[in-house]
Amino acid sequence: MSGRRRTLVVAGNGMVGHRLLETLVERGATAEWDIVTFCEEPRVAYDRVALSSLFAGASPEDLELVRPGFFEQVGLSVHVGDAVTTLDRERGCVVSQRGVRVDYDAVVLATGSVPFVPPVPGRDARGCFVYRTVDDLEAIRDFATATGCRVGAVVGGGLLGLEAANALKSLGLETHVVEFAPRLMPAQIDDRGSAALRSRVEELGVVVHTGTATSEIVRGSDGRVKGMRFTAASPQGAAPEDLSVDLVVFSAGIRPRDDLARSAGLAMGERGGVVVDEACRTSDPAVYAIGECALAVGRLWGLVAPGYQMAAVVADRILGGDRSFTGSDLSTKLKLMGVDVASFGDAFGTTPGAEAITFDDPVTKVYKRVVVGPAPAAADGRTSGRTSGRTSGTTSVRPVLGGILVGDATMYDTLVQMSRGAMPTPERLELLIFPARTTGEGAGAGLGVGALAGNALICSCNTVTKEQICAAVADGCTDVAGVKACTRAGTGCGGCIPLVSGLVRHELLAAGVEVRNDLCEHFAFSRQELFDIVRAQRIGSFSELLSAHGRGRGCEICKPAVASMLATLGDAYILDGEQASLQDTNDHFLANLQRDGTYSVVPRVPGGEITPDQLIAIGHVAKDFGLYTKITGGQRIDLFGARVDQLPHIWQRLVDAGMESGHAYGKALRTVKSCVGRNWCRFGVQDSTALAIDLELRYRGLRSPHKVKAAVSGCSRECAEAQSKDFGVIATEQGWNLYVCGNGGLKPQHGVLLASDIDRETVIRYLDRFLMFYIRTADRLERTATWLNKLDGGLDYLRRVVVDDCLGLCAEFEVDMARHVAGYRCEWKATIEDPERMARFRTFVNSDRTDDNVVFVTERGQPRPAYAHEKPDPALLALGGTP
Amino acid sequence: MTITETHALAPTWVDVCPFDWLISGRGVCALVGGRQVAVFRVDDELFALSNFDPFSQSFVLSRGIAGSRGDRLKVASPIFKQSFDLHTGACLDDATVSVATYAARVSDGQVQVACP
Ligand SMILES: Cc1cc2nc3c(=O)[nH]c(=O)nc-3n(C[C@H](O)[C@H](O)[C@H](O)COP(=O)(O)OP(=O)(O)OC[C@H]3O[C@@H](n4cnc5c(N)ncnc54)[C@H](O)[C@@H]3O)c2cc1C
Ligand code: SF4
């Protein structure tokens, strides 16, 4: 091979294009190739599959797929916001929109798709959108909020249409879905499944119009969408009435982005798409196409998993290998508006001889259909010679071919494995629909992970089989995180994670590894056991505990965990003596570490009540120190971008203005949010703000296994969202209702009612007990919701402990809490009052210089940390900073 | 930048802070010849390594918690928690990654780091 470096151009930095880059880099292609990527969108690759999470609180940064520093690597470059406009095959070069010309040795087209917008009149009115990119979603949100939209409609009732409808709902719009076909998701599910889905979707308040063709978007005199006109999709149907709408999202399917290939004269499919062979090569051997723009094995593949497989094939071919793309599995399982929907294999039963077993419950709106094939004829000669009157044990088993699940997809993984032949099908076919819960006939017949064949595909996004996962466990992975890191399983859509976790546990057990709940390698005890030891033996320091009950030198897991126990049980300043060495950096610096190494500062605002003077003081502090400010979900103000050496000065100013630490940095009580309650609100029945302030001041600084959030509402309208908190109190005419163990975050869960119509003192008594019981018995980083889910006996048991004192521990709980309340001190104040403690807050111990690797840029009038590409070369930085 | 001295025979030792000032298990950050160096004390041993965390691309290792894994002493990055061997700078969670280490000593009660 000649020593000349070759050039690969990649058009498109979407999900598939980026996977290709990652694979090429991993396999060392940059030793020989310069890889130039053109990325049409104004941002590099992001997780399009998770796009809708932008409407559930995620930010575009959360979706980023590109590791920091990725494009800074040698051999890689990217043109962001620039598209390839010409592919000149004769000259062997591409030219971009901005006029960049690159001579290539090979090109990969990874240009994805565009949403199809049906040619109805008025479709270009202001207020018409598509749903494909971050920009699209931001435009929808901005338009809806800026113009005060009330009603929105989605054209198209497929998978993406329903996601878009959910987004409109979350913007608070009255939402309509208009589908041409007689049912929702016509491509994936059948009539009855669709009916179940429809009634669930309608329960959520979405209006569904099926069998309806959009004939016109009506435009107002201001150019904005005003309404929609329809015709019946079939001649028999009655003409549907017009609809007044303010916003329309088109989601009527996608079309491959094949314009570039078309104008370059490459072979195209009849209905679009760049034709490729099994090497993903187009009609020009120097040009490949992958992902949604490619027509491979005679069809388009509108999912990310087949695209990733194509990326792997092309990476291999470019490096001289011979991998092929021969098709992929289109099974899908999703949660649409909270409803499980799955479709896999021959879902409609088109295979000759196929029959379906169905379950259709109109009450719970669960629908399941499993398609089975005919029994293999006389496979082992036994079918012809029945030996008894019963068929059981004599007929061959019928194979699962496919199916549809709506409302309950718990059987999905098992059924898909059966349809792939990787798991035996039970003889009693009803077990496919009602899995046996206990042991018994058929129960063991292959419903657990153990029954999966070795080559069973577990992660279809990354093509990882059971064998590979088992091998990873045998090589020493003991948890899902480890398996993810070494096999990539579960890093795509994440749908296979439960299966991966089941497999890991199964393999560990099979290997005789006891699955223990040890805190870490230094202590052979769970957090609860350690807490009991610390408390019972009055242990006062980490080193005492380590020498008596542990081994080694401790680590970042056990040190902060033990520090938290010592803080709960003792009343010393958390940075005194040895305690200082145990704290996470957040607790060590009493502020929250951000990704660039700076900190954020949150003063306490009890109950969310704040005076104008305090607001002004916060504003002055932010201005004087150049901090970014943001209102948090817990009704307070977060100040970002402070350097270590600035922290005490910031606190001094806040303390002078009568504020104190908000403990946002600790695993501790965060906030008790409240509504204004009776003092102002015409519906309020109690003073919710006063109670919230009292509770926040009582439990402030209380260290716990994880953060604790709380709220108080002044009436049953629940404006403070108390039922989504670790504890929540809601006013009633007679007193207060107390809810516990609610959770927002990753896995939202409503709180459960612990006691109703109790008075203020009882609220506090129960809360003292509840919190101490949780702190003593939960695992490290376990929120109250998860803790309750695992608690033997559940809510009933919790009530007996907290209300009926069945363990006889309540007196102890109350004493522990009283000690906490009496011992509370503001940690900021304690720090700034002590010169020796102040001396720890320096960027460099031996210099007064500040860290000039912390770089801010201005965005929307405020500072934010610079991203890697906005900073000097990180390789230079790694050398040590200042040039 | 002006180059004053190109090949000193012995390293230059740069003062960091008094040894007593260090807390066992915690680090501090020192500027040594323009480089950010994380200095740790574990019981009576001293360690110095780069303050740069390659995973988060920020200068934070001095703010991690020191401890052990098996019989190796290590520090965990405070951002994404990868651990680095205090003796060698090797990342214990990703064999392809490591950070620079520096010589450190105590002289007259002062911690010093060699300026390379
Ligand atoms: C809301 C939503 C939900 C989804 N949910 C799922 C799901 O649950 N499961 C699933 O499997 N799939 C899902 N998908 C589909 C999935 O996102 C796609 O299959 C996947 O993104 C395809 O990757 P790609 O790289 O081929 O295309 P894309 O990710 O679209 O990337 C193509 C990129 O190329 C750029 N480009 C185009 N032409 C040029 C040019 N000439 N020069 C430079 N750049 C160019 C485009 O701007 C785009 O950024 C979903 C899609 C959406 C929109
Ligand atoms: S919860 Fe009740 S009292 Fe509080 S603001 Fe809402 S309506 Fe008013």
Q: Is residue A403 part of a domain?
A: no
Q: Are residues A122 and A95 in the same domain?
A: no
* Cα A592 from Cα A740, distance rounded (Å): 27
pLDDT over 50 at A395, yes or no: no
* Cα A710 from Cα A703, distance rounded (Å): 15
Q: Output the CA torsion A254→A260→A261→A262 (10° steps).
A: 80
pLDDT over 80 at A448, yes or no: no
For the domain that residue A598 is a member of, what is the CATH number? 3.30.413.10
Residues with CB under 6 A from ligand 2: A 675-677, 681, 683-684, 688, 713-715, 717-719
Residue A524: which pLDDT band, with cuts at 50, 70 and 90? confident
| Ligand 1 touching residue A94 (CB < 6 A) | no
Q: Are residues A651 and A737 in the same domain?
A: yes
Count of helices and strands (H, E) across chain A: 24, 39
Residue A789: which pLDDT band, with cuts at 50, 70 and 90? confident
Residue A732: which pLDDT band, with cuts at 50, 70 and 90? very high
Q: Is residue A230 part of a domain?
A: yes
Q: Are residues A631 and A723 in the same domain?
A: yes
Q: How far is the CA of A713 from the centre of ligand 2 (A)?
A: 6
Q: What is the pLDDT of residue A492?
A: 65
Q: In chain B, how many domains are there?
A: 1
Supply the range of the domain harboring residue B62: 22-114
Q: What is the pLDDT of residue A389?
A: 36
Q: Is residue A241 part of a domain?
A: yes
Place of tokens 């620079």: B100
pLDDT over 50 at A386, yes or no: no
A41, A51 contact by CB (below 8 A): no
Q: Is residue A537 part of a domain?
A: yes
Supply the range of the domain harboring residue A570: 527-583
- Of the candidates B71, B72, B69, the residue with the CA atom closest to the CA atom of residue B81: B69
Beta strands A299-300 and A332-336: pairing type?
Answer: unpaired
Condensed to tens digits (0 to 9), the pLDDT of residues A611-648 reads: 999 999 999 999 999 999 999 989 999 999 999 999 99
- Least confident range from A57-61, A148-152, A284-288: namely A57-61
- Least confident range from A522-536, A760-774, A866-880: namely A866-880
For the domain that residue B59 is a member of, what is the CATH number? 2.102.10.10
Q: Are residues A678 and A783 in the same domain?
A: yes
Alpha helical stretches, state H, A204-277: 259-263
Condensed to tens digits (0 to 9), the pLDDT of residues A248-291 reads: 999 999 999 999 999 999 999 998 999 999 999 999 999 999 99
User: In a 3-state reduction of DSSP, which class is residue A303?
Assistant: coil
**B33 Cβ contact list (under 8 Å, min separation 6):** A880, B12, B14, B115, B116
Q: Which of A252, A276, A302 is the last residue of a domain?
A: A252
Query: For the residues A189-204, what does the mean pLDDT come to?
Result: 90
Q: Are residues A165 and A238 in the same domain?
A: yes
Q: Is residue B1 part of a domain?
A: no
Q: Calculate how close chain A gets to B60, using CA atoms only, in Å.
A: 6
Distances (CA, A) of A658 to A346, A599, A635, A691, A860: 68, 21, 18, 20, 30
Contact A849 B52 (CB under 8 A): no
Q: Which of A776, A805, A823 is the last residue of a domain?
A: A823
Q: Are residues A139 and A281 in the same domain?
A: no
Q: Is residue A739 part of a domain?
A: yes
Q: Is residue A854 part of a domain?
A: no
Mutate which: B1, B22, B24, B31, vs A, most A CBs within 10 A: B31
Q: What is the pLDDT of residue A852?
A: 78
* Cα A67 from Cα A45, distance rounded (Å): 10
Contact A593 B68 (CB under 8 A): no
Contact B65 A581 (CB under 8 A): yes
Q: Are residues A62 and A137 in the same domain?
A: no
Q: Are residues A703 and A796 in the same domain?
A: yes
Condensed to tens digits (0 to 9), the pLDDT of residues A326-347 reads: 988 788 887 777 788 899 988 8
B contact residues 26-65, partner A, Cβ 8 Å cutoff:
26, 28-37, 39, 42, 50, 52, 54, 56-60, 63-65
Q: Is residue B90 part of a domain?
A: yes
The pLDDT > 90 percentage for chain A reads 50
Q: Is residue B10 part of a domain?
A: no
For the domain that residue A13 is a member of, what is the CATH number? 3.50.50.60
Q: Are residues A625 and A738 in the same domain?
A: yes
Contact B65 A556 (CB under 8 A): yes
**B30 Cβ contact list (under 8 Å, min separation 6):** A844, A845, A846, A847, B14, B16, B17, B36, B37, B39, B48, B113
pLDDT over 60 at A883, yes or no: no
| Ligand 1 touching residue A65 (CB < 6 A) | no
Q: Is residue A335 part of a domain?
A: no
User: Rg (Cα) of chain A, in Å, rounded?
Assistant: 31
Query: For the residues A782-800, what does the mean pLDDT come to?
Result: 85
* Cα A20 from Cα A308, distance rounded (Å): 8
The protein residue with its alpha carbon nearest to ligand 1, atom 44, reads: A12
Q: Are residues A606 and A748 in the same domain?
A: yes
Q: In chain A, how many domains are there?
A: 4
Q: Which of A674, A682, A717 to mutate to test the pocket of ligand 2 (most atoms within 8 A of CB)?
A: A717
Q: What is the pLDDT of residue A877?
A: 47
pLDDT over 50 at A881, yes or no: no
Q: Are residues A569 and A641 in the same domain?
A: no
Q: Are residues A771 and A752 in the same domain?
A: yes
Residue A393: which pLDDT band, with cuts at 50, 70 and 90? very low
Query: For the residues A517-534, what does the mean pLDDT come to?
Result: 81
Q: Is residue B15 part of a domain?
A: no
| Ligand 1 touching residue A40 (CB < 6 A) | yes
